[in-house]
Amino acid sequence: MPIPQRKVKISLNKTEPTKLTAEILQKQLASIGLTCIYTEKENLSASISEVKSKLPSGVIQTYGIKSYKQSEDGKAFYTNEFDGQVDVGSLSYNGLEKASEANWEPDSSALGYSTELEYIQFPSHFDYLVKNRSSFTGIKYQPTTYTGKFTSVDSIKSLFVNVGTIASASLVKGLDKDSIESVLSNAIAPINDANVQDYDVSDSRVIFLVENYNPETREADAIGVLTINWHLVIKDYKKKKDSLKHDTTLTIWSRSVLYDSIDALNADVEFVQSHFKNNLFLFKIPAKPSTVEIFPSLPPAIKDTFSKSLPKISKEDFVEVIVLYSPDLDNIGSLDNSNSDADTKYSKSVTSGFTFTASQSFSTELSFEASAEVVKAGFKIGFNITFTEQWSESTTETMEFTVPAGKKAFTYQGYLLAAILRYDPANDSYKYVDFSRFMTNILTTTRTPIEAAS
């Protein structure tokens, strides 16, 4: 008996993808100052037919074609230098808005997982999954650059054909041709400054994907997201008499992922959120705080505990965090100098870090704050710890202590109990898999033993 194919439950309504017409294209070209014989409707109709004949045909349909929302100054979010790094110096991420019609759209009772997919496709999130999660099936395609001398209209035709081709080629089964046309229906972005000599514009589309959707059963073979970015430069693009052909550079890059399991999608979202607790960008999925909680005792193995704990890097198919609990003090040395007339020094090798059998890796990019307090017999000490990459390995250093003549000294090291809490997306379960201590770098010295302090 064959293994039943896994299906994704999703509720969509049929829509008609936006068509690219001569009237629409003519308005777009006029908005950037291109008005000539080549932009008359009859010629544009021929150009559109030529472009359509060169577009590939695929089977993956769409249930959302969106663009980045503009900020108050009219600028849209973009990535810098094609490397997925977010340019946050001048722009911020404001979410997505509809760019054109897709084959389908989520009905009023369902979000269609677009929020989760939007979160996954965000450049730094996608890159983190590619680098650190072995089960992630997403692919990041490196930039492809086209150069040559073309008329301005031919440059636009090249944009259409190449964006459509790469968008489809980013998927094994290709992108539906009607969806490609809808993506291209408003690909000519206007220019705010009418006096510029060069057409130099970056743009992108975030496309939500659905494979083999059955409207009767409300199921699909897979859902996913494709993000395609392009940067078109046409030098002196308005000049007609001096030079009919212009130096043109078109760069296109994309990333895509398909899921045949909602559990896998949710696990990838959890994996990213565990890392980007102090995300700078506001999503409908709440960003996790940059603080972790130190529990008074071992908490239950549940999602709430998971969300409040310290994320660690793992390349496995599951997601793990370190739960910190039961802050306490460990006596690491004492010296009775009460019968001496001279100050006395002593040294002690002190190890700080986790005592798990395997080392724990933390991000080089982020830091997480934790605080707790130990109160014993009237003695109180506070913990304030910053977890960064330095805690990926334990360290040992020699500490020197001085005890004055006629005095006693008792030295304590703060520590936390630690446990690894694992989330397994295969069965949507949480369980503890290892236990240890976290020896802090916080030391304190007292005149009397803490247990006897008053």
- φ, ψ (nearest 5 deg) of residue 289: -70, 165
What is the pLDDT, as a whole number, of residue 60? 94
What is the pLDDT, as a whole number, of residue 278? 45
Distance CA 128, CA 132 (A): 6
Any residues with CB less than 8 A from the CB of 421 and at least 6 apart, and which? 301, 305, 306, 309, 320, 321, 322, 323, 430, 431, 432, 433
Residues of the chain with pLDDT under 50: 1-3, 81-90, 242, 278-289, 452-454
Extract the tokens encoding 14: 């049929």
- Residue-wise pLDDT for 192-208, tens only, equals 666 677 778 888 899 99
Cα-trace Rg, the chain: 30
Task: Give CA separation, 2 vs 7, 67, 220, 371, in Å.
Answer: 15, 41, 19, 54
Distance CA 34, CA 246 (A): 13
What is the pLDDT, as a whole number, of residue 91? 52
- Residue-wise pLDDT for 299-328, tens only, equals 999 988 988 888 887 666 677 889 999 999
Q: Taking the alpha carbons of 226, 169, 221, 12 in that order, is the dihedral positive or negative? A: positive
- φ, ψ (nearest 5 deg) of residue 114: -70, -30
What is the pLDDT, as a whole number, of residue 284? 41
Average pLDDT in the chain: 80
Any residues with CB less than 8 A from the CB of 446 and at least 6 apart, and which? 379, 409, 410, 412, 453
What is the pLDDT, as a whole number, of residue 117? 93
Amino acid, res. 14:
K
Distance CA 86, CA 266 (A): 24
What is the pLDDT, as a whole number, of residue 214? 93
**Which candidate, 237, 245, 208, places its Cα nearest to that of 223?**
208
Q: What is the dihedral of CA 185, 191, 195, 197, to 10 degrees?
A: -70
Distance CA 403, CA 121 (A): 59
Q: Give the DSSP letter string of 99-155.
A: EE--SEEE-TT--TTHHHHHHHHSHHHHHHHHHH-TT---EEEEEEEEEEEE-HHHH
What is the pLDDT, as a whole number, of residue 1? 40
